[in-house]
């Protein structure tokens, strides 16, 4: 929950803070601000008149909040520039969602505590797709804008975003449970499941938690997301890989790389078998550093996986990078090998 709050606060700070700036704010800053949120008017949205007196916007804002609280989110903003006022109103609308989530506390599902983690900007954009301008007014040098987002559209956007992830998770779970012998397709499914569980699945869980905070999206079943990581790990643990160095540098770091793979959940075989992890490495020696004369060496290693027939496992590769510094080249090289770490 704290990470979600920080994300919304960062979004509001980036949008609302700049949106309320004086007219002297730079044009480039306003352009960046305009790109931060998307506005896609929903069908039947209110046509926005221009140059209405500011009191009209205040009236519309209060009227919408008073009589439509159950059906829409409403935002209000003002600034010397029309676009900045629109962005301020959008940020205010985001606050309405943030306030509800913050006041609800941690969502409880199936007797377990679900922490809403950090939402990406693209996820927030998806949630706010369909936001439109209900009223735009001008009072002398200042603009005022009222934005609205229908809650039905908000919930529908969440479902459209989440459903493909749930379908893929279900399909992957079925694949991982169906095969008992190692083959490239099974291991590719495990690799994809692991990526999904650490990326899109986390975002989907966040969105489902947000949706349920508003007592909606009850039909979304995220049970298949919960066991995705475990199912992938079980597959990797069942089919042991034999590390095969392809060059002299790879031979020198094979013990380090084997340990790193084991820590990530791969079962590493001590003897050669039909499931191989090919290891190749490149070493780069930089010129001595100016002033100090220290040596710098970099090692980049890549692991490619094959299974059964020898076909590469789709989507399953690993890269490791190490940098070393020393008074001699050997010291720099030794440190680079020792400091190898996963390169994302």
| Boundary residue ending a domain (119, 154, 189) | 154
DSSP letter string over 326-341? ESSHHHHHHHHHHT-E
> Do 89 and 11 belong to one domain?
yes
Burial track 145-180 (b if 16+ CB lie within 10 A, e otherwise): bbbbbbbebbbbbbbebbeebbebbeebbebbeeee
Q: Which domain holds residue 293?
A: 242-342
> Do 202 and 223 belong to one domain?
yes
pLDDT in tens, 70-125: 899 999 999 999 999 999 998 888 887 777 776 665 444 433 333 444 556 666 67
What pLDDT does residue 31 have?
38
> Do 149 and 12 belong to one domain?
yes
Number of domains in the chain: 3
> Do 201 and 273 belong to one domain?
no
> Do 311 and 258 belong to one domain?
yes
Nearest to 337 by CA among 259, 275, 273: 259
> Do 9 and 149 belong to one domain?
yes
Say if residue 20's pLDDT is above 50. Answer: no
- Average pLDDT over the chain, rounded to an integer: 78
> Do 33 and 123 belong to one domain?
yes
Say if residue 26's pLDDT is above 60. Answer: no
> Do 118 and 258 belong to one domain?
no
What is the model's pTM?
A: 0.63
> Do 24 and 146 belong to one domain?
yes
Nearest to 310 by CA among 281, 280, 272, 254: 272
């Amino acid at each position: 929950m704290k990470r979600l709050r920080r994300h919304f606060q960062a979004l509001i700070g980036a949008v609302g803070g700049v949106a309320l700036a004086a007219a002297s704010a730079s044009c480039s800053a306003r352009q960046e601000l305009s790109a931060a949120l998307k506005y896609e008017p929903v069908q039947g949205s209110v046509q926005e008149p221009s140059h209405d007196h500011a009191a009209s916007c205040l009236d519309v804002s209060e009227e919408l909040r008073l009589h439509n609280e159950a059906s829409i989110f409403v935002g209000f903003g003002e600034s010397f520039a029309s676009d900045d006022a629109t962005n301020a109103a959008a940020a205010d609308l985001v606050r309405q969602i943030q306030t509800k989530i913050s006041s609800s506390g941690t969502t409880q599902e199936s007797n377990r505590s679900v922490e809403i983690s950090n939402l990406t900007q693209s996820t927030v954009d998806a949630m706010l797709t369909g936001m439109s301008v209900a009223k735009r007014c001008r009072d002398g040098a200042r603009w005022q804008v009222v934005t609205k987002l229908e809650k039905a559209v908000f919930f529908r956007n969440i479902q459209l975003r989440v459903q493909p992830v749930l379908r893929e998770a279900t399909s992957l779970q079925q694949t991982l449970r169906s095969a008992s012998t190692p083959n490239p397709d099974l291991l590719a499914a495990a690799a994809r499941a692991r990526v999904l569980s650490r990326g899109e699945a986390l975002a989907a869980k966040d969105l489902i938690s947000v949706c349920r905070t508003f007592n909606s999206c009850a039909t979304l079943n995220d049970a298949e997301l919960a066991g995705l990581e475990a199912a992938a790990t079980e597959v990797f643990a069942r089919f042991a890989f034999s590390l095969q160095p392809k060059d002299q540098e790879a031979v020198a770091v094979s013990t380090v790389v084997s340990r790193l793979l084991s820590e990530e959940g791969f079962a590493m075989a001590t003897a050669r078998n039909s499931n191989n992890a090919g290891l190749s490495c490149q070493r780069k020696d930089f010129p001595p550093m100016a002033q100090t004369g220290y040596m710098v060496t970099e090692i980049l290693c890549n692991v490619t996986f094959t299974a059964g027939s020898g076909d590469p496992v789709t989507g399953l590769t690993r890269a490791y990078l190490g940098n070393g510094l020393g008074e001699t080249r050997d010291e720099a090289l030794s440190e680079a090998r020792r400091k190898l770490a996963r390169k994302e």
